[in-house]
Amino acid sequence: MQGRIRKAVSGFYYVESEGNIYQTRGRGNFRKQNITPLVGDTVIFESTNKTDGYVLEVLPRKNQLVRPTVANIDQAVVVTSLVEPNFSFNLLDRFLVTLELNEIKPIIYLTKVDLLENVELVQEIVAIYEKIGYPVISATSDNNSIHELEETFSGQLTVFMGQSGAGKSTLLNEILPSLDLPTAAISESLGRGKHTTRHVELLEVANGLVADTPGFSAIDLATIESEVLPRLFPEFVAIMDQCRFRECKHLNEPDCAVKEAVESDKIAFSRYEDYKQFMSEIENRRPIYKKKNKN
Protein backbone atom coordinates (compact mmCIF):
# COMPACT_ATOMS: atom_id res chain seq x y z
CA MET A 1 0.00 0.00 0.00
CA GLN A 2 1.01 3.63 -0.48
CA GLY A 3 0.44 6.43 1.99
CA ARG A 4 1.88 9.53 3.64
CA ILE A 5 3.46 9.69 7.08
CA ARG A 6 1.32 11.97 9.25
CA LYS A 7 3.18 11.61 12.54
CA ALA A 8 6.41 10.10 13.88
CA VAL A 9 6.76 9.35 17.59
CA SER A 10 9.22 7.07 19.41
CA GLY A 11 10.09 4.96 16.37
CA PHE A 12 6.49 4.59 15.20
CA TYR A 13 5.29 6.08 11.90
CA TYR A 14 1.59 6.81 11.53
CA VAL A 15 0.74 6.46 7.86
CA GLU A 16 -2.46 7.77 6.26
CA SER A 17 -3.80 5.79 3.32
CA GLU A 18 -7.29 6.08 1.81
CA GLY A 19 -8.68 7.75 4.90
CA ASN A 20 -7.22 5.30 7.41
CA ILE A 21 -4.27 5.71 9.79
CA TYR A 22 -1.85 2.79 10.23
CA GLN A 23 0.73 2.50 12.98
CA THR A 24 3.96 1.20 11.45
CA ARG A 25 7.67 0.76 12.09
CA GLY A 26 10.55 1.17 9.64
CA ARG A 27 12.22 -1.80 7.96
CA GLY A 28 15.17 -3.23 9.84
CA ASN A 29 17.63 -2.39 7.05
CA PHE A 30 16.71 1.32 6.95
CA ARG A 31 19.37 2.05 9.56
CA LYS A 32 22.04 0.25 7.56
CA GLN A 33 21.03 2.20 4.47
CA ASN A 34 21.03 5.46 6.49
CA ILE A 35 17.34 6.03 5.68
CA THR A 36 15.14 7.90 8.18
CA PRO A 37 11.46 8.23 7.22
CA LEU A 38 10.15 11.74 7.84
CA VAL A 39 6.74 13.23 8.44
CA GLY A 40 5.41 14.16 5.00
CA ASP A 41 7.14 11.29 3.23
CA THR A 42 5.20 9.24 0.72
CA VAL A 43 5.91 5.61 1.53
CA ILE A 44 5.15 2.05 0.51
CA PHE A 45 4.07 0.01 3.52
CA GLU A 46 2.42 -3.26 4.47
CA SER A 47 0.01 -3.87 7.31
CA THR A 48 -2.32 -6.69 8.34
CA ASN A 49 -4.13 -4.35 10.76
CA LYS A 50 -4.06 -0.68 11.81
CA THR A 51 -1.59 -1.16 14.66
CA ASP A 52 1.05 -3.50 13.27
CA GLY A 53 2.67 -2.56 9.97
CA TYR A 54 6.02 -1.86 8.35
CA VAL A 55 7.29 0.93 6.10
CA LEU A 56 9.00 -0.86 3.20
CA GLU A 57 10.16 2.02 1.01
CA VAL A 58 10.46 5.80 1.19
CA LEU A 59 9.63 7.32 -2.20
CA PRO A 60 11.78 10.20 -3.56
CA ARG A 61 11.31 13.55 -1.82
CA LYS A 62 10.98 16.89 -3.57
CA ASN A 63 12.45 18.64 -0.53
CA GLN A 64 12.96 18.41 3.21
CA LEU A 65 13.80 20.66 6.12
CA VAL A 66 16.00 19.70 9.06
CA ARG A 67 14.32 22.07 11.48
CA PRO A 68 11.35 21.52 11.29
CA THR A 69 11.88 17.91 10.18
CA VAL A 70 9.27 17.62 7.42
CA ALA A 71 9.45 16.38 3.82
CA ASN A 72 7.59 17.24 0.62
CA ILE A 73 6.57 20.72 1.72
CA ASP A 74 4.57 23.00 -0.59
CA GLN A 75 4.56 26.22 1.41
CA ALA A 76 5.73 27.68 4.71
CA VAL A 77 4.09 30.29 6.93
CA VAL A 78 6.91 32.31 8.47
CA VAL A 79 5.29 33.50 11.70
CA THR A 80 7.07 36.76 12.47
CA SER A 81 6.65 38.69 15.70
CA LEU A 82 6.84 42.47 15.61
CA VAL A 83 7.51 42.85 19.36
CA GLU A 84 8.57 40.49 22.17
CA PRO A 85 10.60 39.19 20.34
CA ASN A 86 11.22 42.27 18.23
CA PHE A 87 11.07 42.13 14.45
CA SER A 88 14.32 41.36 12.63
CA PHE A 89 14.77 41.83 8.88
CA ASN A 90 17.90 39.68 9.11
CA LEU A 91 16.14 36.73 10.72
CA LEU A 92 13.21 36.91 8.31
CA ASP A 93 15.61 36.95 5.35
CA ARG A 94 17.40 33.89 6.74
CA PHE A 95 14.11 31.99 6.76
CA LEU A 96 13.28 33.17 3.23
CA VAL A 97 16.69 32.16 1.86
CA THR A 98 16.28 28.69 3.40
CA LEU A 99 12.85 28.32 1.82
CA GLU A 100 14.07 29.52 -1.58
CA LEU A 101 16.88 26.95 -1.42
CA ASN A 102 14.30 24.20 -0.89
CA GLU A 103 11.82 25.62 -3.44
CA ILE A 104 9.16 26.17 -0.78
CA LYS A 105 6.71 29.04 -1.21
CA PRO A 106 6.89 31.49 1.73
CA ILE A 107 3.95 33.30 3.32
CA ILE A 108 4.89 35.97 5.87
CA TYR A 109 2.48 36.26 8.80
CA LEU A 110 3.01 39.21 11.16
CA THR A 111 1.93 38.74 14.78
CA LYS A 112 1.53 41.11 17.75
CA VAL A 113 0.61 43.97 15.45
CA ASP A 114 -1.58 45.45 18.19
CA LEU A 115 1.46 45.83 20.48
CA LEU A 116 3.49 47.75 17.92
CA GLU A 117 4.00 51.47 18.54
CA ASN A 118 5.72 52.15 15.22
CA VAL A 119 2.90 51.33 12.79
CA GLU A 120 5.06 52.47 9.88
CA LEU A 121 7.14 49.30 10.34
CA VAL A 122 4.25 47.16 9.09
CA GLN A 123 3.90 49.33 6.00
CA GLU A 124 7.64 49.05 5.37
CA ILE A 125 7.62 45.24 5.68
CA VAL A 126 4.62 44.92 3.37
CA ALA A 127 6.16 47.28 0.81
CA ILE A 128 9.50 45.43 0.73
CA TYR A 129 8.31 41.83 0.62
CA GLU A 130 5.15 42.09 -1.46
CA LYS A 131 7.20 43.89 -4.11
CA ILE A 132 9.43 40.80 -4.27
CA GLY A 133 6.38 38.55 -4.58
CA TYR A 134 6.02 37.22 -1.03
CA PRO A 135 2.50 37.38 0.44
CA VAL A 136 2.37 39.30 3.73
CA ILE A 137 -0.56 38.87 6.13
CA SER A 138 -0.92 41.01 9.25
CA ALA A 139 -2.77 39.55 12.25
CA THR A 140 -6.10 41.28 12.94
CA SER A 141 -8.40 41.16 15.95
CA ASP A 142 -11.46 40.36 13.79
CA ASN A 143 -9.88 37.10 12.50
CA ASN A 144 -10.00 38.24 8.87
CA SER A 145 -6.28 37.48 8.70
CA ILE A 146 -6.99 33.90 9.86
CA HIS A 147 -9.49 33.40 7.05
CA GLU A 148 -7.04 34.90 4.55
CA LEU A 149 -4.37 32.46 5.70
CA GLU A 150 -6.72 29.45 5.66
CA GLU A 151 -7.53 30.11 2.02
CA THR A 152 -3.93 29.23 1.12
CA PHE A 153 -4.06 25.76 2.74
CA SER A 154 -6.23 23.82 0.29
CA GLY A 155 -4.33 20.99 -1.37
CA GLN A 156 -1.04 22.10 0.20
CA LEU A 157 1.34 20.72 2.82
CA THR A 158 2.12 23.75 4.94
CA VAL A 159 4.70 24.16 7.68
CA PHE A 160 4.72 26.87 10.32
CA MET A 161 8.13 28.22 11.19
CA GLY A 162 9.61 31.24 12.86
CA GLN A 163 11.34 32.57 15.92
CA SER A 164 10.54 31.02 19.29
CA GLY A 165 7.83 33.03 20.99
CA ALA A 166 6.46 34.41 17.72
CA GLY A 167 3.12 32.67 18.27
CA LYS A 168 3.00 29.64 15.94
CA SER A 169 1.04 27.37 18.28
CA THR A 170 -1.21 30.25 19.34
CA LEU A 171 -1.99 30.92 15.69
CA LEU A 172 -2.79 27.27 15.00
CA ASN A 173 -5.08 27.17 18.04
CA GLU A 174 -6.96 30.12 16.57
CA ILE A 175 -7.26 28.33 13.22
CA LEU A 176 -8.46 25.07 14.79
CA PRO A 177 -9.31 25.43 18.52
CA SER A 178 -9.82 21.67 18.97
CA LEU A 179 -6.06 21.19 18.58
CA ASP A 180 -5.47 22.72 22.03
CA LEU A 181 -1.75 22.95 21.33
CA PRO A 182 0.35 23.96 24.34
CA THR A 183 1.84 27.43 24.39
CA ALA A 184 4.31 29.11 26.70
CA ALA A 185 4.90 32.65 27.83
CA ILE A 186 8.00 34.55 26.83
CA SER A 187 10.90 33.90 29.18
CA GLU A 188 11.71 37.23 30.84
CA SER A 189 15.30 36.21 31.55
CA LEU A 190 16.01 35.00 28.01
CA GLY A 191 13.69 37.30 26.08
CA ARG A 192 12.48 34.46 23.90
CA GLY A 193 9.81 31.80 23.94
CA LYS A 194 10.18 28.32 25.36
CA HIS A 195 9.91 25.39 22.95
CA THR A 196 6.43 23.95 23.46
CA THR A 197 5.80 21.58 20.53
CA ARG A 198 7.16 18.09 21.19
CA HIS A 199 6.78 16.28 17.88
CA VAL A 200 5.85 16.93 14.27
CA GLU A 201 2.37 16.01 13.11
CA LEU A 202 0.40 16.76 9.96
CA LEU A 203 -3.02 18.12 10.81
CA GLU A 204 -6.01 18.42 8.48
CA VAL A 205 -6.91 22.10 8.19
CA ALA A 206 -9.01 23.82 5.52
CA ASN A 207 -8.68 20.95 3.01
CA GLY A 208 -4.92 20.82 3.38
CA LEU A 209 -2.25 19.45 5.72
CA VAL A 210 -0.51 21.67 8.24
CA ALA A 211 2.51 20.74 10.35
CA ASP A 212 2.83 22.16 13.83
CA THR A 213 6.55 22.30 14.46
CA PRO A 214 9.00 23.52 17.10
CA GLY A 215 10.08 27.13 16.79
CA PHE A 216 13.67 28.25 16.66
CA SER A 217 15.42 31.59 16.66
CA ALA A 218 18.33 31.14 14.25
CA ILE A 219 19.17 29.45 10.97
CA ASP A 220 22.69 28.75 9.83
CA LEU A 221 23.74 28.87 6.21
CA ALA A 222 25.90 25.76 6.30
CA THR A 223 24.26 24.10 3.29
CA ILE A 224 24.37 27.16 1.01
CA GLU A 225 27.32 27.80 -1.32
CA SER A 226 28.43 31.30 -2.27
CA GLU A 227 27.61 30.84 -5.96
CA VAL A 228 24.07 29.76 -5.08
CA LEU A 229 23.20 32.57 -2.64
CA PRO A 230 22.51 35.28 -5.29
CA ARG A 231 19.87 33.02 -6.83
CA LEU A 232 17.99 32.83 -3.51
CA PHE A 233 17.04 36.52 -3.70
CA PRO A 234 14.23 36.74 -6.30
CA GLU A 235 14.72 40.46 -6.87
CA PHE A 236 18.37 39.79 -7.77
CA VAL A 237 17.43 36.98 -10.15
CA ALA A 238 15.01 39.28 -11.97
CA ILE A 239 17.79 41.63 -13.11
CA MET A 240 21.06 39.68 -12.81
CA ASP A 241 21.26 39.20 -16.57
CA GLN A 242 21.81 42.97 -16.80
CA CYS A 243 25.09 42.73 -14.85
CA ARG A 244 28.29 43.00 -16.90
CA PHE A 245 29.58 39.68 -15.59
CA ARG A 246 27.58 36.48 -15.87
CA GLU A 247 28.74 35.18 -12.46
CA CYS A 248 28.47 38.55 -10.75
CA LYS A 249 28.33 38.27 -6.95
CA HIS A 250 26.93 41.81 -6.65
CA LEU A 251 29.68 42.92 -4.29
CA ASN A 252 32.72 44.65 -5.85
CA GLU A 253 32.09 44.07 -9.55
CA PRO A 254 31.62 47.09 -11.86
CA ASP A 255 28.39 47.65 -13.79
CA CYS A 256 26.37 45.52 -11.38
CA ALA A 257 22.63 45.86 -11.96
CA VAL A 258 21.82 44.76 -8.42
CA LYS A 259 24.00 47.42 -6.78
CA GLU A 260 22.53 50.04 -9.10
CA ALA A 261 19.03 48.90 -8.13
CA VAL A 262 19.89 49.25 -4.45
CA GLU A 263 21.23 52.77 -5.02
CA SER A 264 18.01 53.74 -6.83
CA ASP A 265 15.79 52.15 -4.12
CA LYS A 266 14.44 49.53 -6.50
CA ILE A 267 15.89 46.86 -4.20
CA ALA A 268 15.55 47.29 -0.44
CA PHE A 269 18.75 48.36 1.30
CA SER A 270 17.99 45.99 4.21
CA ARG A 271 17.79 43.01 1.86
CA TYR A 272 21.10 43.88 0.21
CA GLU A 273 22.82 44.38 3.59
CA ASP A 274 21.56 40.96 4.73
CA TYR A 275 22.78 39.44 1.46
CA LYS A 276 26.27 40.85 2.04
CA GLN A 277 26.30 39.52 5.61
CA PHE A 278 25.15 36.06 4.49
CA MET A 279 27.80 36.00 1.77
CA SER A 280 30.48 36.94 4.30
CA GLU A 281 29.34 34.17 6.66
CA ILE A 282 29.41 31.61 3.86
CA GLU A 283 32.81 32.60 2.52
CA ASN A 284 34.40 32.74 5.99
CA ARG A 285 32.98 29.58 7.49
CA ARG A 286 35.42 26.90 8.49
CA PRO A 287 35.60 23.80 6.28
CA ILE A 288 34.28 20.58 7.78
CA TYR A 289 36.63 17.64 7.52
CA LYS A 290 35.33 14.10 7.78
CA LYS A 291 37.31 11.70 9.93
CA LYS A 292 38.75 8.66 8.22
CA ASN A 293 37.36 5.33 9.28
CA LYS A 294 39.88 3.25 11.19
CA ASN A 295 40.31 -0.27 9.84
pLDDT at 151: 96
165 pLDDT above the threshold of 90: no
- Residue 82 DSSP code: S
- Residue 268 DSSP code: -
Summarised one tens digit per residue, pLDDT across range 5-16 is 999 998 899 999
CA 88, CA 279: separation in Å to the nearest integer? 18
Same domain membership, residue 166 and residue 38: no
Does residue 233 fall inside a structural domain?
yes
Domain harbouring 279, CATH code: 1.10.40.50
Which residue segment(s) compose the domain that 38 sits in?
2-58
pLDDT at 173: 82
Summarised one tens digit per residue, pLDDT across range 233-246 is 999 999 999 999 99
Does residue 290 fall inside a structural domain?
no
**Residue in 40, 45, 75 with CA at minimum distance from that of residue 201:** 40
Same domain membership, residue 149 and residue 92: yes
Same domain membership, residue 263 and residue 197: no
For the ranges 26-40, 175-189, 224-238, the one whose mean pLDDT is highest: 224-238
What pTM does this model have?
Answer: 0.86
Q: What angle do CA 196, 200, 202 make, to 5 degrees?
A: 125
Does residue 293 fall inside a structural domain?
no
Burial bucket for residue 146 (CB in 10 Å: 0-12, 13-18, 19+)? middle
Same domain membership, residue 191 and residue 272: no
Same domain membership, residue 118 and residue 20: no
Q: Please give the annotated binding residues for GTP, written as ranges.
A: 111-114, 162-170
Q: Please give the annotated binding residues for Zn(2+), written as ranges.
A: 243, 248, 250, 256
Do residues 246 and 189 lie in contact, with contact meaning Cβ atoms separated by under 8 Å? no
Q: Please give the annotated binding residues, written as ranges.
A: 111-114, 162-170, 243, 248, 250, 256
Same domain membership, residue 71 and residue 165: yes
The tally of domains found in the chain comes to 3
Residue ranges with strand state E in the chain: 2-9, 12-17, 20-26, 42-49, 52-58, 64-65, 70-71, 75-81, 105-111, 136-138, 157-162, 186-187, 192-193, 201-205, 208-212
**Residue in 198, 200, 152 with CA at minimum distance from that of residue 175:** 152
Same domain membership, residue 160 and residue 278: no
Same domain membership, residue 187 and residue 81: yes
Do residues 198 and 146 lie in contact, with contact meaning Cβ atoms separated by under 8 Å? no
Amino acid of residue 216: F
Pick from 212, 242, 274: which residue ends a domain? Answer: 212
Pick from 212, 239, 274: which residue ends a domain? Answer: 212
Question: What does residue 183 show for φ and ψ, rounded to 5 degrees?
Answer: -130, 165
List residues bridging with 71 in a β-sheet. Answer: 64
Output the average pLDDT for the chain: 88
